[in-house]
Amino acid sequence: MPWSTISLPPGLTSTSASHCTTSSCVFRCRPLQWLTASSGPSSSPEANEASCAKSCEENLDCLTSFPGYHGCFEACNDHSHHEATAAASGIALAAGNRTLRGQLAGCRLLTPNVSNGIESSGASCTAPTLGAPQVMDDEIQNHVRSLRNPEASDREKKEAANSLANLAVKDQNRAAIAAAAGIPPLVALVTRGSDSAKEEAARALGILATNDQNRAAIAAAGGIPPLVALVTSGSDSAKKNAALALGNLARNDQNGAAIAAAVGIPPLVAMVTSGSDSAKEYAAGALGSLAWNGQNKAAIAAAGDIPPLVALVTSGSDSAKEDAAYALKNLATNDQNRAAIAAAGGIPPLVALVTSGSDSAKEFAARALGNLARNDQNRAAIAAAGGIPPLVTLITSGSDSAKEYAAGALGSLARNDQNGAAIAAAGGIPPLVALVTSGRDSAKEDAAKALKNLATNDQNRAAIAAAGGIPPLVALVTSGSDSAKEEAARALGILAVNDHNRAAIAAAGGLPPLVALVTSGSDAAHGLGNLATNDQNKAAIMAAGGVQALQEIAKDGKMLVHRQVAQEALKHFPRESDSAEGGTKLGSDPATKPSTIVSAEKLRGEMRTLEAGNEELKAKAAEQLGTWAAVSDENRVAISRGGGPEALVALLVTGSDDAKWHAARALRNLANNCEAKDVILKAGGIATLEPVVRHGKGKVKEAADEALRLLSQKQEAKSIQATGQGKIAEAGDTIPTGEGTRVAVFSARFDGGPIEQKIRKVFQILCDRKYDILMVAADAGESFGDLTTEYLGRLHKEHGTMIAVCTKHYGEMTASAYSSHKELKFALDYEKFVKVLPLRVDDTYPPEPPGGPGHVYDKGYLARGYILSVFKPSVVFLECRENSEIEIAAQIANVLQKHKVAKDGSS
């Protein structure tokens, strides 16, 4: 190579003198015959990388070398020589005390003449300045070549890996190293290098893995298994570097699964448990990233990592506490892990971290507490540990992220009535209002959700209005993100229970955007219903087109829960409304009732999608069939006759995981009808579902298992066929109208099984007879909790009846915040206001919810205590075990008729 291209470090000046210097090292050009003691220039071989490297290795002052034309370029630690020549020749020194990372361009010896090993002035050593990007790329290429060179020593490879790790700190260099094919040789060095070389290579890969593309490239190059091996048996430094690399790689979900498959979780757990202080920190961070993957959450807990992480949050270094809180935050999105973290004593140290940790630690701890607070027991425990005041402080003076996470945590805590009062007492309402007003978009949504939950308390509703909360909620309904609009609308709907607030919402311009939101298909209809109890608001809503919007949702709403809520809201408007045809009866027009029968045209459209749509559309079509099948037997028969079971069974084999889940759920709903069940069986439903149950995972497996259990059950003699529905309707006409009866709410364990389906038919019969009866829809989704809270609030306010569907395990304490146990406790707490009507649907009565030392949530049989307190011997139950739907509906109606609202509003 007649010319070497060697890059120039920042701060190094160009000069024509024989030495090109920085303030700490000297660059010099030396002819090869001096290095090899050759007889003269004419016999000198051409310099090459190997000969120059060998010479440099033999010279203790030599830092690195590169070949030139008949000479080697060396960077030497040669301070005394540098000072002498600099003083003699006036060489310009570079600015600053820099570490040499660059190279000289165009080192060429014109007249080799050596004296005492130092070039004479006859040699020319020039250093023209080059563009920075090319300079850096050239340096990277040289380091990669060193890694790939089979003749390079382990020391050279280690130094190359070290240099690449330092260069990779900059974003552009990470991409350049990957483009120069630097990742495979680094993986090879982690696999086969010396201990110290492995350490440097792991460090380089860890820094490179902060880039999305590099994460995939490192995995593709086989980097995960050797990094797992290194974290298992390397030196302490190597383990830390490997843990850092695995943590960064795990931010890619596929990599997280691959690390677990390579048995990478146990050695990281071992590091957190018994490693050095710094090793614990690195391992906690890696496990936190791995915990983004749903299956890894369970695997990390199963490997015993929750107690050592809690210990690290409690007594680790500041940075270790931060990483441990990050890991617990991600682990706490799993129901079982929430209970395990609390059982390991994790709540108090997280509260302490919110109080006095670093900014990042406060953010992670607040997010962890928010995730933990999705569990009823944890909500009480966080409050008992003093968690509410520091979260309120954080929402007032924390970073933007901290404010958002604190708002989310307070929102979850506020689902507990005592916590709601405590948050208000700690001054939490004004900063939440401020966050809705001027926070970033995601923070506004979390703050609106928190205010919604706080507004279930009468005093809090007044306090939110007094703090100026209504105008910013109206603004959020008008111009927030879709999900933020929904939360703000729900908050306004609950605030509108208060007369003063109804007027204030209208005055703030809230009615038009709420109507617009209902028109777009939102479930904000209940807010309009509450607002319409004010006559002026009622007129304004009607003028803004609110009644028409509600009628459309009641008829064609996408989800059953939306249709039910719209129907409830329409009850607040006049039964007669002027129209072009001269009047429409809102209470009796079919348009105001939920559309229970799917049209043939809509069904054909979804079937076409199942046959020819892409994966996403097929999943949506299966979801729609499942929703229709949950509503009525007519729909189940229509779907089964329209080819739905066959298409859904096929989707279980060929669809995406999401499509398989929706297909299994749809088959489960269809299987509640005998005719549809026969079609599913003929389509090979059982044979198709069985392998999904055996080998599937998560929600797909659960839905398939439910469908399989229903299909495997013997047909019940009393199953109602689609052809018999007319008889039910006819029999229902014998039940007296429910107008004037008090509100009633069904309380049950929802599992999609035969009893639930039977009770839903009872519910529909009573609705058709105009009873003010409520039951959360099967497809309520994220609205389930909000509707449950709203329905219980009406029971209390209107002195209604809770209809308890007493299956054997009714009232069991679970992780859910909205379970039959919560409803049972509500009935006990407010027994002066709420009547309980038990339905005996099981041989075991009163119910016997599971509990005891082996139970995750109820070790002291608390649920059974509630059962005995509510279902006293004096409480008469309705015998429903052998009764038909119409018979059960008639029994319930007979009881509700005894509890009508008098004209003066009294009982």
The mean per-residue pLDDT over the stretch 360-374 comes to 95
How far apart (Å, rounded) are the C-alpha atoms in residues 309 and 224? 24
Q: Judge whether residue 906 has pLDDT over 90.
A: no
CA distance 19 to 28: 5
DSSP, collapsed to helix, strand or coil, labels residue 802 as strand
* 791 CA to centre of own chain: 28
pLDDT above 70 (res 407): yes
Q: Give residue 158's pLDDT band: very low, low, confident or very high (50, 70, 90).
A: very high
Bridge partners of 125? 107
How confident is the model at residue 27, as a pLDDT? 44
pLDDT band at 662; cut points 50, 70, 90: confident
Stretch (H or E) spanning 770: none
505-561 pLDDT, tens digit per residue, is 999 998 888 888 887 766 677 778 888 887 888 888 888 888 888 888 777 766 666
Higher pLDDT, 56 or 258: 258
pTM of the model: 0.55
Model pLDDT, residue 170: 87
Q: Are the CB atoms for 247 and 282 separated by under 8 Å?
A: yes
Mean pLDDT of 229-242: 93
Closest CA to 896 of 848, 839, 844: 839
Give the pLDDT band (50/70/90) at residue 468: very high
584-637 residue pLDDT tens: 344 433 333 334 467 888 888 888 888 888 888 888 888 888 878 776 778 888
What are residue 712's phi and psi, to 5 degrees? -80, -15
Digit-coded pLDDT (tens) for 837-846: 999 998 888 9
Q: Would the pLDDT of 105 be above 80?
A: no
Give the Cβ contact number of residue 84 at 10 Å: 11
On average, the pLDDT of the chain sits at 79
Residue 582 region by backbone torsions, left for phi larger than 0, else alpha for psi between -120 and 50, else beta: left
Nearest residue to 625 (alpha-carbon basis) of 655, 654, 668, 590: 668
Q: Which of 128-137, 415-424, 557-566, 785-794 has the lowest mean pLDDT?
A: 128-137
Token pair in block for residue 752: 């999609």
Integer angstrom CA distances of residue 114 from 61, 622, 782, 798: 19, 85, 83, 106
Structure tokens at 764: 């529909």
For helices 318-331 and 306-315, the axis angle rounded to 10 degrees is 140
Q: Please give the average per-residue pLDDT across 129-138, as a whole number.
A: 50
Residue of 348, 352, 339, 416 whose CA lies nearest to 382 = 348
Q: Which of 316, 321, 324, 313 is nearest to 349 (CA)?
A: 313
pLDDT of 13: 33
Q: What percent of the chain has pLDDT over 90?
A: 39
pLDDT at 93 over 80: no
Chain segment 55-88, per-residue pLDDT in tens: 776 665 566 666 654 456 666 654 444 444 333 3
How far, in whole angstroms, is CA 400 from its chain's centroid? 19
Alpha carbons 99 and 77: distance in angstroms, whole number? 11
pLDDT of residue 22: 34
Average pLDDT, integer, range 789-814:
89
CA distance 816 to 374: 8
**pLDDT in the model for residue 264:** 94
Looking at residue 72, what is its pLDDT?
65
Alpha helices by DSSP H, listed for 713-855, are: 725-732, 754-768, 784-798, 820-829
Distances 94 to 79, 163, 174, 774 between C-alpha atoms, Å: 14, 22, 27, 81
More confident call, 319 vs 714 = 319
- Residue 179 clears pLDDT 60, i.e. is over it: yes
